[in-house]
Amino acid sequence: MPSPAKPKKKTDSSGAKPQNDKRVKHDWSAIRREYIRGEDTVTLASLADRDGAPSERQLERRCAAEDWPELRLQMRREIDGKLRQLDLDLKTEVRMRQARVGKSFIRLAEDALEYQRPESLDPIDIARFAKIGAELERKSLGMEEVNIKIGRIKSPDDLDKHSEAELWQLAGMLPPDENEDDDF
């Protein structure tokens, strides 16, 4: 008995698939890119829920074959590294500028003291330039800031607990008395 005839596939002479093939072509490159660049909320399930998207099972196979989680992690590391470098570059630029400004203030105070030109600056201004310059320079170099709580100083004996540098800093923080300039 002859075997039953197999139905013929509908192909043209070029071997192309028939027009009524129901398989959908997906833009795997775009799907992969969206997963890799996406936040943690972009999951295979969320991608599969979209209209015209591949099934979650198809996504899982492609994801495993191409190691999308590792690519996502690598992308995040690269972005994090670039952001850290940008942050470091910006901080370095700011520190250098602050150091230059701080040195300029200190130089201005030194010049005023050296040449004693009272007509150009008041002595209290000189002290403030020195204080601001030193603070900027110290901060730009990442040095620790010295803070003195003025309210804790109740008597001259309390002043003995501070170093000379702290006392000079304290002197720069006090507001000038109206008659203070007359003493100079």
CA 2 to chain CA mean position, Å: 78
Q: Report whether 105 contacts 132 (CB < 8 A).
A: yes
pTM: 0.45
- The helices-and-strands tally (H runs, E runs) of the chain is 8, 0
The token duo for 54 is: 């591949």
Tens digit of each residue's pLDDT, the chain (184 residues): 555 555 554 445 555 555 555 677 899 999 999 999 999 899 999 999 998 899 999 999 999 999 999 999 999 999 999 988 988 888 888 888 877 877 887 777 777 767 765 566 676 777 777 777 777 777 777 766 655 555 566 666 776 777 777 766 666 555 445 454 444 4
Name the nearest CA neighbour of 106 among 54, 141, 80, 76.
Answer: 141
Q: Identify the sign of the CA torsion 110, 115, 116, 119.
A: negative
CA 107 to chain CA mean position, Å: 33
